[in-house]
Amino acid sequence: MLAVTCAFWQEWCGRCRYRGPYAERVQRSALLLKLLTFAPTGAIIAAPTTSLPEALGGTRNWDYRFSWLRDSTFILHALVALGYSGEARRFCEFLCQCCVRSTLPNLQVLYGIGGETKLTERELIHLNGYRGSQPVRIGNAAYRQRQADIYGELANWALLYHALGQPIDSTLEEIIRGAADYTATHWMDPDQGIWEMRSELRHHVHSKIMSWVALDRAIRLLGPNPHWERARNAVLTTILERGIDPEGTHLIQAFDYRDMDAAFLLVPLLDVPIDRAILVRTVAAIERRLRVGDYVHRYLAPDGLPGTEGAFLICSFWLVDALLALGRAEEARALFERLLAKANDVGLYAEEIDPADEAFLGNFPQGFTHLALINSAIHLQLYAQGGEAALGGTHADRVRRAIGDKDHIHALRRDLKAEAHGVDTRQSVLDMDI
């Protein structure tokens, strides 16, 4: 059993497509992402822990042992860019179970690893928590929230899945069409946003941008649709009219709220028709208001919760990507290499870090942080090969460039198709039931 287990992981690692200067760190992060997958269903969890505090002694302690649609699609983008295919196929099966059979056209923010839809949050008052940080929670009330960006994240993932040669079968079409129809009807509804705020609903600008993405990707995948096209145009017009600070001429966190949001660091890589000058000013505003040294807070606005939190490590890696996309390559690489030095002794990261003493905070190890490390390493390699143009387009475009030669793309497509039909094309220990 030990020999088979070692062979399994050695072969899995050997299939990593990345050959850049950060290969060891990329592979370490890929291993962590693989370990967050649940083989029986294809679910991918955010982290394997609950209630590790975002501030020692504080109450921001959450259960991350669930499958967030957003986190999962981000993780799959990273794994597919490294050349891994099996996780993508299995997650599509999980999507079918969760979305089509349970909640479509509404998408739930997170699901249990068995596809459970009710994830009631409870406090275990008899437990002291990590270093006295109470309460310890199981379950997560965010499952009841409205977070409109997940429709765009799912459609973005579908575009990549199709780019790898997978057909849009009836099940996937049902998911994409349902998401687009829902978005076209509800994009003007307020939500809690990507950061799961527990305050009043707001018109988060990042959510509006991802609503545009949901409609755009559906049109690319399923063809012209006047209803979707009208809604897509209306979303963009509204963003430009209400989502721009009148003085700073940069994006703002929400309509009528002039705070900043680190999620805007993703926008330069979304292929959204927002003027480059606006994006440059938005990144500058984030650095000015949310950056502390090498670290970036996700926001500093009130969110309905007591206490404080650290800087989100994923936001630092997102800054690397945004700097690259805007031509600040030397700064991006230097920041990335400094961030690599922040890992613990076995190459792992938590969700957050305290900018003052660089202590890890939040659940650990965190998939969000590791997928962002992988993406930044790939983006740095793409930039070195082709400059800003190599980072243009959608995630699907960049993944195709990262995978590289046509033979490997064909092999990845073949593996996906073979796995879908239960055909063993590789005679590999990876296909053994261990």
Classify residue 344 as left (phi > 0), alpha (psi -120 to 50) or beta: beta
Task: Return the structure tokens found at 7.
Answer: 């062979």
Question: Which pLDDT belongs to residue 377?
Answer: 97
Task: Return the structure tokens found at 138.
Answer: 């199981």
Question: Which pLDDT belongs to residue 434?
Answer: 40
Kind and range of the H or E run holding 40: none
Q: What average pLDDT does range 18-47 have in this prediction?
A: 94
Q: What average pLDDT does range 41-70 have in this prediction?
A: 94
| Maximum alpha-carbon separation in the chain | 64
Residue 237 dihedral angles phi and psi, to the nearest 5°: -60, -40
Q: What is the pLDDT of residues 360-373, one digit of tens each?
A: 999 999 999 999 99
Q: What average pLDDT does range 56-75 have in this prediction?
A: 93
Q: What is the pLDDT of residues 154-185, one digit of tens each?
A: 999 999 989 888 888 888 888 899 999 999 99
**pLDDT band, very low/low/confident/very high, at 432 (cuts 50, 70, 90):** very low
Question: Which pLDDT belongs to residue 427?
Answer: 45
- Whether the per-residue pLDDT at 412 is higher than 80: the answer is no
**pLDDT band, very low/low/confident/very high, at 416 (cuts 50, 70, 90):** low
Residue in 382, 347, 312 with CA at minimum distance from that of residue 81? 382
Question: Which pLDDT belongs to residue 143?
Answer: 94
Residue matched to tokens 């030669």: 405
Q: Strand runs (DSSP E) across 117-205, as ranges? A: 122-123, 137-138
Q: What is the pLDDT of residues 6-18, one digit of tens each?
A: 898 889 988 998 9
Question: Which pLDDT belongs to residue 399?
Answer: 92
Q: What average pLDDT does range 209-228 have in this prediction?
A: 97
- pTM for the whole thing? 0.92
Question: Which pLDDT belongs to residue 426?
Answer: 45
Task: Return the structure tokens found at 69.
Answer: 């649609």
- Exposed e or buried b per residue across 235-266, where buried means at least 16 C-beta atoms within 10 angstroms of its C-beta: bbebbeeebbbeebebbbbbbebeebbbbbbb
Q: What is the pLDDT of residues 249-292, one digit of tens each?
A: 999 999 999 999 999 999 999 999 999 999 999 999 999 999 99
Q: What average pLDDT does range 223-240 have in this prediction?
A: 97
Question: Which pLDDT belongs to residue 201?
Answer: 95
313: exposed, middle or buried (Cβ count in 10 Å: 0-12, 13-18, 19+): buried
Q: What is the pLDDT of residues 339-355, one digit of tens each?
A: 999 999 999 999 999 99
What CA–CA distance (Å, rounded) separates 30 from 55? 27
**pLDDT band, very low/low/confident/very high, at 102 (cuts 50, 70, 90):** low
Question: Which pLDDT belongs to residue 406?
Answer: 54
- Whether the per-residue pLDDT at 423 is higher than 50: the answer is no
Q: What is the pLDDT of residues 374-400, one digit of tens each?
A: 999 999 999 999 999 999 999 999 999
- Exposed e or buried b per residue across 379-390, where buried means at least 16 C-beta atoms within 10 angstroms of its C-beta: bbbbbeeeeeeb
- Whether the per-residue pLDDT at 424 is higher than 60: the answer is no
315 CB-near residues (< 8 Å, 6+ apart): 262, 265, 290, 295, 296, 297, 298
Q: What is the pLDDT of residues 138-153, one digit of tens each?
A: 999 999 999 999 999 9
Between 170 and 119, whose confidence is greater?
119
Q: What is the mean pLDDT of the chain?
A: 91
How much of the chain exceeds pLDDT 70, in percent? 92
